Structure 1
Amino acid sequence: MAVERNSEVAPEKHHLTETQDYKAGWSFYLVLAGVVTSLGSSLPVGFNIGVVNTPADLIKQFCNESFVSRYDIALSNTWMNVLWASIVSMFTIGGCTGSIIGSVIADKFGRKKAAILTNVLSIAGATLFLFCRAANSVEMLIIGRLLVGLSGGLTTSIVPMYVAELSPAALTGAMGVVCPMGINFGVLVGQLMGLDFILGGVDDWPYLLSGYALLVIVSLPVLCILPESPKYLFVIQRNEAAAISELSRLRGVSPSALTSELELLRKEARSETSAEHWSMMKVLREPKLRLPLLLSCSMQAGQQTSGITAVFYYSQTIFRQAGLSAQRAQYATIGSGAINVCTAALMLRLLPRAGRRPLLLASVLAASLLLATLAAALLFIDTASWMPYVSMSALLAFVLVYGLGLGPIPFFIASEMFEVAPRPAGMAWGSLANWGGNFLVGMGFPTMRNVIGPYSFLLFSAFTMGLFLFTKFYFPETRGKTPTQVAQLCSRGLRSRPLTTATAKHIL
């Protein structure tokens, strides 16, 4: 009998210990979610940004030959430029469209199914790329660019939100880096695949454009077995049983050990915002959400108006003027892309320790100063033999500091400033600002380059300094705070004083 009593008491003691000692951290499904969404959803976005420039002349030749054979029309240089601009811009148009509909899809079908949709669209686009030359169809190429752009817009508005909602509070920053790290890695992979001895040959461009699909095909089945966001199930769907089941599977512990996380979910479910449906227009009109929305959109747009794409465009010229051969200049450009990937990986460790605000402010300020330095070095590049090395150093330093704050933080910061219900719409606005900034810089930079040359980077520097001043006055530290607390700090719009000690103490 004594043995039986001990066997009954032991599980109870174990239960108490598990409940009291459990602290959510890295788990199998959380790590799997980070890897799978990075490779299957985020990587294709960066790949399609970085890959199209290498085979540009080959694709233009294909387009001209297709028009001659099908319509008996030879395209002039003017019309070829128009067609090429259309092919390139379709990606951005799709990105803007995906950003707009992302909030609706995320709420209607759930975060996981929305992420699955991004993969399906990505595979469809790759299929069109692979067979467009065999079908002699420029239209398939254009539609493919539209589909991968649509997938990209959905990815940037949904994936950071999904992985952030899967994460415990202490790891939201680290998991928030997953999406931008995947995008940066995709750009690097696209540059590498475009090398002559890999897929940069004359007949290889359809395989080059569609090569990313192999990773997506491998990732898609794994994505299907990941848990749905417990916050979505609990707060939006009001399905407490399913939320607890998925949270238990995600953390790898029994529901009895999840008391503190479930209490936080219940608090979010009881908040004022959780009972309402939040469209993008409703979020835009809500005064209490105005400052979080402005912060999120300004950071996302600020990524593009920092001129990061233009810097990479100029990199080949700068490296050549520094004395590198054409091939070595290409390798140096790839090296700068590798810096971008490495800094994103470094942020996995920095963000939980340093916080969002100091990293972002230091990154934005340094980026602004380095852009001004780059402009000055380019203006006087022929005046001294060492000046090309100044410009090269400024370029590499800019890529480094960009990756330590301005690159990754804007992608996930909306998930820490918006509560669960308005979060999809807030993320969608931020994603739209990013793609809109991408479109404006992409369309405007060639003209700026022709008209004002290196002074373009002074303009980018001014935009970036403006972002620094705005975030310095209004961006609160979100590390260690719940979205509800951050929302209260910013609830008075531009009249908010989210940085004052008294206000913070009152809220906390």
Structure 2
Amino acid sequence: MSSDVASSLLRRRIASSPGVKMSGGTTGALLYSVSAAVLGMFQFGYNTGVINAPRTFIENFIREQYDASPALIFSVIVSIFAVGGMIGCPFASWMLEKFGRQKALLFNAAFGVLGAVLMGFSKMASSVEMLIIGRFLIGINCGFATTASPTYVSEIAPLNMRGAFGTVNQLAVAFGMIFGQILGIDVILGSNEGWPWLFKLAVLPSAIQCFMLPFAPESPRFLLLGVRDEERAREALTKIRGNSEIENEINDMHAEDQAARQEEKFTIMDLFRIQALRTPLVIGIVMHLSQQLGGINAVLYYSATIFVSAGLTEEDARLAVIGVGSTLFVMALVSIPLMDRLGRRTLQLVGLGGMTVFSVLMTIAFFTYENNKTMSIFAVIFTFLYVAFFGVGPSSIPWMILSELFGQGARSAAVSLGALVNWFANFIVGLSFIPMSDALGNFVFLPFTVLLILFFAFTYFKLPETKNRTIEEVTALFKK
């Protein structure tokens, strides 16, 4: 995705946000910087979606090199991405504080180029190992991006536009997924000759970042509070805002710094040891588990396989896969205004409830299509609706809820632990779905249905509503 596309997408998103005007602090420097950063999230979406369509051709490639089960090795190729993500998240946290936001993003972009090159040239080298290692490295790159990009974007965005700019990360993920799925159809790169190019093209987002990021300013917040260089912070903020009226923002940063110094710092072990911290931690972790163990990545990684098992031809299945990414993209747009209107708890319950219903209907459609061919169509429709309800709440709420359940002293540790759990659950689903599918056949989604019911019950009884509540009000609930 070029910077022009990212900027255009960003402009449309901001322009459609209530109360946001393009002239109110949105400058070329700001759009440029945000576009450069969210290319990492585009990379994340692309590599989540691109592995789906070429499964048959990759398994043929594996079969040419090994006598081992190609399905098992393909599961490793899919799931090793999440192992990389588990490493990338905490690594990003360290890099962001040690070297700054801009340099950390630039390092990660160069790392992404390396992973994409290994994947893209694995067939030419007749090396399955290159594909696995490249997929692992691009997983580190994407895990890093899921921490670094939102941090940088939130710190350079004007306060009154922070919500609108924050949504661009989710939109970039969905757009990257759609782009990868479109390229994977038969007439483009969904062929035995074309699939290596699907991975070679993963070089582009990271390569474009390598060219763009050196011209993007460092986060003024990091310069002021991280390295104590107020002069450079003022220069960066003036460039981003396009004017010198920055005193209020500088003063706000100083006030935030002073408040943070007065607040007690907590470690990850403290989160487990202290009751008032342990309860919200368990809630946040279960929210992350509900996102992954509800089965969404089984659909994102293996929807082509799922649609073929439901009676579609491989060509039709690859076309239907595009609908999965498109549904996520549309729901990312739809859910944004609902987040503050209906609240986190309500949207999470609606999302989990809808996923439960349509996972049951998907199972019925899979089981009956052999006797009724029209059920193949319903299987696809139910899958889209399952994905749509995921987009209502479970796609984004787990990533934001921990920051709303903890005060500043414990927030960093809690968010890092939540991200680690999320990527680990992602790995479990990616590795286990094919063996589960072989063992359970058309009933493969029933374990996810049971877990969704449990997650719904937990959310109903345990998750407090954080809408319109201050951090102090929320944390006070767990001190009672």
State the TM-score bracket (shorter-chain normalisation).
Answer: 0.7 to 0.9
Equivalences for 1:309-328 in 2 at 5 Å?
309-312=297-300, 315-316=303-304, 325-328=313-316
Q: Is residue 25–residue 242 contact of structure 2 (8 Å, CA) maintained in 1? A: no
Q: Deviations over 1:206-244 (max 9, x none)?
A: 322120222322233323333333443444444444444
Give the CA deviation at 1:123: 0.8
Q: Deviations over 1:58-86 (max 9, x none)?
A: 44444555x5xxxxxxx3234x5554444
Mapped pair 1:227 → 2:212: no
Give the CA deviation at 1:280: 4.5
1:318 & 1:413 partners in 2: Cα distance? Answer: 31
Residue 46 of structure 2 corresponds to: 47
Residue 20 of structure 1 corresponds to: none
> Which residue, out of 179, 201, 209, partners 1:189?
179
**Structure 1 residues 162 and 356, CA gap change in structure 2 (3 angstroms):** farther
Q: Is residue 111–residue 232 contact of structure 1 (8 Å, CA) maintained in 2? A: yes
Q: Deviations over 1:257-287 (max 9, x none)?
A: x42x444433421235677776555555565
Q: Deviations over 1:110-155 (max 9, x none)?
A: 2332222321211111122233344444433232112101111111
Q: Is residue 362–residue 382 contact of structure 2 (8 Å, CA) maintained in 1? A: yes
2:304 & 2:62 partners in 1: Cα distance? Answer: 26
Residue 110 of structure 1 corresponds to: 100
**Aligned partner letter, 1:486:** I
Larger Rg: 1
What secondary structure sits across from 1:406 in the alignment? coil
> Which residue, out of 323, 329, 335, partners 2:323?
335
**Aligned partner letter, 2:426:** N
Give the CA deviation at 1:106: 2.1
**Structure 1 residues 161 and 468, CA gap change in structure 2 (3 angstroms):** farther
Residue 31 of structure 2 corresponds to: 31
Give the CA deviation at 1:188: 1.8
**Aligned partner letter, 1:95:** G
User: What is the root-mean-square deviation of aligned Cα atoms in Å?
Assistant: 3.4
Residue 365 of structure 1 corresponds to: 353
Residue 308 of structure 1 corresponds to: 296
Give the CA deviation at 1:396: 1.6
Q: Deviations over 1:279-338 (max 9, x none)?
A: 555555565544454344333322211111223567546656877544233212212221
Q: Is residue 284–residue 418 contact of structure 2 (8 Å, CA) maintained in 1? A: yes
**Aligned partner letter, 1:77:** A
Q: Is residue 112–residue 141 contact of structure 2 (8 Å, CA) maintained in 1? A: yes
> Which residue, out of 358, 362, 387, partners 1:374?
362
Q: Indicate the larger mover: 275-284 or 127-136.
A: 275-284
**Aligned partner letter, 1:363:** G
1:264 & 1:465 partners in 2: Cα distance? Answer: 44
Residue 77 of structure 1 corresponds to: 68
Mapped pair 1:200 → 2:190: yes
Mapped pair 1:149 → 2:142: no
Q: Is residue 177–residue 347 contact of structure 1 (8 Å, CA) maintained in 2? A: no
Q: Is residue 123–residue 217 contact of structure 1 (8 Å, CA) maintained in 2? A: yes
1:167 & 1:292 partners in 2: Cα distance? Answer: 28
What secondary structure sits across from 2:445 in the alignment? helix
1:419 & 1:235 partners in 2: Cα distance? Answer: 18
**Structure 1 residues 155 and 276, CA gap change in structure 2 (3 angstroms):** farther
Residue 9 of structure 2 corresponds to: none
Q: Indicate the larger mover: 431-440 or 109-118.
A: 109-118
Residue 91 of structure 2 corresponds to: 101
**Aligned partner letter, 2:143:** G
Equivalences for 1:77-476 in 2 at 5 Å?
77-78=68-69, 80-256=70-246, 258-259=247-248, 261-272=249-260, 280-281=268-269, 285=273, 288-312=276-300, 315-316=303-304, 325-351=313-339, 354-382=342-370, 387-417=375-405, 422-476=410-464
1:376 & 1:318 partners in 2: Cα distance? Answer: 13
**Structure 1 residues 90 and 389, CA gap change in structure 2 (3 angstroms):** closer
Q: Is residue 46–residue 177 contact of structure 2 (8 Å, CA) maintained in 1? A: yes
Q: Is residue 33–residue 223 contact of structure 1 (8 Å, CA) maintained in 2? A: yes
Q: Is residue 274–residue 420 contact of structure 1 (8 Å, CA) maintained in 2? A: no
Give the CA deviation at 1:204: 2.9
1:348 & 1:32 partners in 2: Cα distance? Answer: 23
1:422 & 1:225 partners in 2: Cα distance? Answer: 34
Q: Is residue 107–residue 424 contact of structure 1 (8 Å, CA) maintained in 2? A: no
Residue 486 of structure 1 corresponds to: 471
1:393 & 1:490 partners in 2: Cα distance? Answer: 41
**Aligned partner letter, 1:194:** G
1:234 & 1:477 partners in 2: Cα distance? Answer: 34
Q: Is residue 80–residue 427 contact of structure 2 (8 Å, CA) maintained in 1? A: no
Q: Is residue 103–residue 427 contact of structure 1 (8 Å, CA) maintained in 2? A: no
**Structure 1 residues 157 and 286, CA gap change in structure 2 (3 angstroms):** farther
Q: Indicate the larger mover: 417-426 or 50-59.
A: 417-426
1:51 & 1:487 partners in 2: Cα distance? Answer: 43
Q: Report the identity percentage.
A: 33
Q: Is residue 260–residue 408 contact of structure 2 (8 Å, CA) maintained in 1? A: no
What secondary structure sits across from 2:191 in the alignment? coil
**Aligned partner letter, 2:475:** C
Q: Is residue 105–residue 145 contact of structure 2 (8 Å, CA) maintained in 1? A: yes
1:97 & 1:274 partners in 2: Cα distance? Answer: 31
**Structure 1 residues 87 and 444, CA gap change in structure 2 (3 angstroms):** closer
TM-score (normalised: structure 2)? 0.81
* Corresponding residue pairs, total: 458
1:369 & 1:443 partners in 2: Cα distance? Answer: 25
